[in-house]
Amino acid sequence: MPVVVEAQNLQKYYNGFQAVAGIDFKIQKGQCFGILGPNGAGKTTVVAMIYCFHPVSGGKLTVFGNDVNNDPRTIKKRLGVVPQENNLDLELSVRENLLIYASYYGIKRDVAEKRARELLYFFGLSAKADQEVDKISGGMKRRLTIARGLIHTPDLLILDEPTTGLDPQSRRLIWEHLRQLKKNGLTLILTTHYLEEASHLCDDLIIMDRGVILDEGKPGDLIKKQVGTKVVEVDLEPAQRNALINSMDTLISGYQMAESTIYLFIPEDETKVMKALNNSNFAHTYQVRPANLEDVFLKLTGRGLSYEEDAGYESSSYAKTL
Amino acid sequence: MKAAVTPKLYRWASYYSPVNRWALKVFTRNLFVFRKTWTTNLAFNIVEPLLYLAALGAGLGMLVEDVEGMSYTQFIAPGIVATSAMWAAAAECSYDSFVRMYYQKIYHAIVATPINLQEVVAGELLYGTFKSVLSGTVITVVIAALGLVPSPWALLIPAVLVLNGMAFSQLAMIWTGIVPKIDNFAYFFTLVITPMFLFSGVFFPLDVLPVILQQLAWLLPLYHIVVLLRSLTLGLVSADLIFHALWLLVFILIIFPLPQYLMRRRLIK
């Protein structure tokens, strides 16, 4: 598999503040590569260096084999960007937004018209083609921004938190489109702080916090390696926690404490743990669920991913933000 | 020694290269939006200068005897062309550019494509110049219809307006690269544009002022524009005009790197 992006000891400083602290990663062609982490982890900085917006402070970053310092124009011709904030032309219609963007790449008008038609159809925006962008919904604006990033048929699409701030339906619709694009062979880079997004879409991911990579791998492998298969959540008085941990010591692969909940990580079979819990005299309630990336993150950092914008979203019911 | 100087010169020269086909795409983008929204710009750029001309020419002009051997309306008409073109460029590259850069994040959208930030700035300056030339030319046509443009030398006015547009687009863009908030443009207009509007010889001949103020006016780009436009309008053409045009050209070339430099410093960390 050819390598599309390669970072070696990649660093970024803003006025002395270290945003990215010397990280290494490789992104293969056709992959959906995820950068998962809370706000301020350095995700946006990393992708902004890939699309040649922020200069690299140290180390080496190559995209399509070109050093980002040497020829940004060559690189930018081949990649599409979906920024965190919508930056559409609000005075223009949906279709005009695509046509104007095509003109930046020097695409001929008739080719651009055809491509715009296809993209609007793909993203379910054909009926809105002549609407002013100001008047379409947030989810549609997001889809239009993704369509815009694809207008020049790039080899790589970079999405910076593509579904932040969207309702669950719009989010799922975008996931569906991204899966389609991936199936068609497009390489995707995705930053997110939604673990569900990362586990749905990404073949490979890095978990970042405070400018460093905490771990990397396929979502399933990461969960298995860091946590196991299941997690038991136990509500328990803080005073009794140590006693519980001690009694479970041989049965669990690890644990994590949050405010009022203790998470027990179970390597494979949960029955022994359940039996032990049932037989114990701790006053508690508990539930078992499959392990997920949130647990990985909680274990790696001791704190959760940020969910402040995500109240009520299904997977946040057990997430504790510390 | 030489090795240290060459890259510096090279970097300096690199500020002039963004006037290229990529910048033209940014210009075309703005023109495309303008074609949809030009009716809203019309009042500010064209109706307002004509109001000035009417109020000052027909009103104030009644109280003023002939100035330099011509009617007061005839005296101020070329200056109104100059100031309306100045306002058009200054407004475009301050408020309007700031909205595109800061609120709409259009610059960010464009620099994700093969176009770079310096070319975006160059394209914006070209567009500010276009708006300025358009506004000044329309006013010229109107005052010509009113019989206030006696000389065919006036056909050169659009060329002067290009210099005018470029100079004021750049001055405005410098502020756009610096100001933290859109409200801060008030300083630009109060401290730079308004004094120029009042003290560049538009409304009265500068020789009524103390010598020191006359000399200070020489530093104002608008002063040179007003001299050029008034001379061309009246057909009072001499070799001196070349000097005024050169002054503007040198001014434009010297400050040309600044808007790009400041915008890079602002957006690219």
| Structural domains in chain A plus CATH codes | 3-218 (3.40.50.300), 223-318 (3.30.70.860)
Answering whether pTM is above 0.90, one says: no
Task: Determine whether the interchain pair A83/B37 forms a contact, defined as Cβ–Cβ distance below 8 Å.
Answer: no
Task: Identify which of B33, B105, B111 has the shortest CB distance to residue A91.
Answer: B33
Residues of A in contact with B120 (CB under 8 A): none
Measured in angstroms, the CA of B240 and the nearest CA of chain A are apart by: 43
Find out whether B136 and B157 touch, Cβ atoms under 8 Å. Answer: yes
Of B91 and B14, the one with more pLDDT: B91
Interface test with B, best of A87, A88, A96, A189 (most B CBs within 10 A): A87
Q: Over 70: is that where the pLDDT of A317 sits? A: no
Q: Over 50: is that where the pLDDT of A163 sits? A: yes
Task: Determine whether the interchain pair A106/B32 forms a contact, defined as Cβ–Cβ distance below 8 Å.
Answer: no
Residue corresponding to tokens 């930053």:
A191
Encoded tokens for A120: 């609007």
- Output the pLDDT for position B49: 84
Encoded tokens for A85: 């904030």
- Output the pLDDT for position A304: 58
Segment A92-119 mean pLDDT: 96
Amino acid making up residue A264: L
Query: A196-230: per-residue pLDDT in tens?
Result: 888 889 999 999 999 999 999 998 888 888 888 88
Of A176 and B44, the one with more pLDDT: A176
pLDDT band at B88 (very low <50, low <70, confident <90, very high): very high
Q: Is B212 exposed, middle or buried (0-12, 13-18, 19+ CB in 10 A)?
A: exposed
Amino acid making up residue B135: S
- Output the pLDDT for position B10: 78
- Output the pLDDT for position B4: 58
Which range is least confidently modeled, A13-22, A216-225, A307-316, B183-192? Answer: A307-316
Encoded tokens for A86: 């919508």
Task: Identify which of A53, A73, A81 has the shortest CB distance to residue B268.
Answer: A53
Interface test with B, best of A14, A17, A49, A53 (most B CBs within 10 A): A53
Task: Determine whether the interchain pair B116/A88 forms a contact, defined as Cβ–Cβ distance below 8 Å.
Answer: no
Segment B210-234 mean pLDDT: 93
d(C-alpha A21, C-alpha A23), whole Å: 6
- Output the pLDDT for position B87: 93
Segment B115-131 mean pLDDT: 96
Task: Determine whether the interchain pair B109/A87 forms a contact, defined as Cβ–Cβ distance below 8 Å.
Answer: yes
Residues of A at the B interface, defined by Cβ within 8 angstroms: 14-15, 51, 53-55, 72-73, 76-77, 80-81, 83, 85, 87-92, 96, 100-101, 103-106, 149, 152
Measured in angstroms, the CA of A129 and the nearest CA of chain B are apart by: 16
Measured in angstroms, the CA of B261 and the nearest CA of chain A are apart by: 15
Query: A30-48: per-residue pLDDT in tens?
Result: 999 999 988 888 999 999 9
Taking a contact as any Cβ pair under 8 Å apart, which residues of chain B between 210 and 269 contact chain A? 268-269
Q: In A150-292, which residue ranges form alpha helices assigned H by DSSP?
A: 168-183, 195-201, 219-226, 238-248, 271-279
Task: Identify which of A14, A81, A96 has the shortest CB distance to residue B269.
Answer: A14
At A230, phi and psi to the nearest 5?
A: -125, 160
Residues of B in contact with A92 (CB under 8 A): 32-33, 36
H/E segment holding residue B190: none
Q: Kindly state whether B40 is in contact with chain A, defined as any CB-CB distance less than 8 angstroms.
A: no
Task: Identify which of B25, B33, B110 has the shortest CB distance to residue A92.
Answer: B33
Q: Over 70: is that where the pLDDT of B134 sits? A: yes
Q: Over 50: is that where the pLDDT of A118 sits? A: yes
Residues of A in contact with B108 (CB under 8 A): 53, 83, 85, 87
Task: Determine whether the interchain pair A76/B28 forms a contact, defined as Cβ–Cβ distance below 8 Å.
Answer: no
CA pseudo-torsion sign A150, A156, A157, A160: negative
pLDDT band at A322 (very low <50, low <70, confident <90, very high): very low
Segment B169-178 mean pLDDT: 96
The structural domain count of chain B equals 1
> Which of B231, B249, B60, B32 minimizes the C-alpha distance to B149?
B231
Residues of B in contact with A104 (CB under 8 A): 25, 29, 110, 113-115
- Output the pLDDT for position B154: 94
Closest CA in chain A for residue B108: A87
Task: Identify which of A76, A83, A89 has the shortest CB distance to residue B113.
Answer: A76
Distances (CA, A) of A126 to A137, A143, B162, B193: 14, 12, 42, 47
- Output the pLDDT for position A299: 82
Task: Identify which of B29, B105, B269 has the shortest CB distance to residue A100.
Answer: B29
Task: Identify which of B32, B108, B114 has the shortest CB distance to residue A100.
Answer: B32
Task: Determine whether the interchain pair A92/B32 forms a contact, defined as Cβ–Cβ distance below 8 Å.
Answer: yes
pLDDT band at B3 (very low <50, low <70, confident <90, very high): low
Distances (CA, A) of A176 to A118, A143, A189, A198: 17, 11, 16, 13
Encoded tokens for A29: 């062609």
pLDDT band at A247 (very low <50, low <70, confident <90, very high): confident
DSSP class of A55: P
Task: Determine whether the interchain pair A105/B114 forms a contact, defined as Cβ–Cβ distance below 8 Å.
Answer: yes
Segment A239-259 mean pLDDT: 77
Task: Determine whether the interchain pair A14/B113 forms a contact, defined as Cβ–Cβ distance below 8 Å.
Answer: no
Amino acid making up residue B226: V
- Output the pLDDT for position A282: 67
- Output the pLDDT for position A293: 84
Residue B131 belongs to domain spanning: 2-267
Task: Identify which of A83, A87, A106 has the shortest CB distance to residue B104.
Answer: A87
Residues of B in contact with A91 (CB under 8 A): 33, 36-37
- The mean pLDDT value of chain B amounts to 91
Percentage of chain A beyond pLDDT 70 is: 92
- Output the pLDDT for position A160: 94
Measured in angstroms, the CA of B138 and the nearest CA of chain A are apart by: 25
Find out whether A79 and A63 touch, Cβ atoms under 8 Å. Answer: yes
- Output the pLDDT for position A284: 64
Contacts of B56 (CB under 8 A, 6+ apart): B72, B73, B76, B203
Query: A185-202: per-residue pLDDT in tens?
Result: 999 999 988 888 888 899
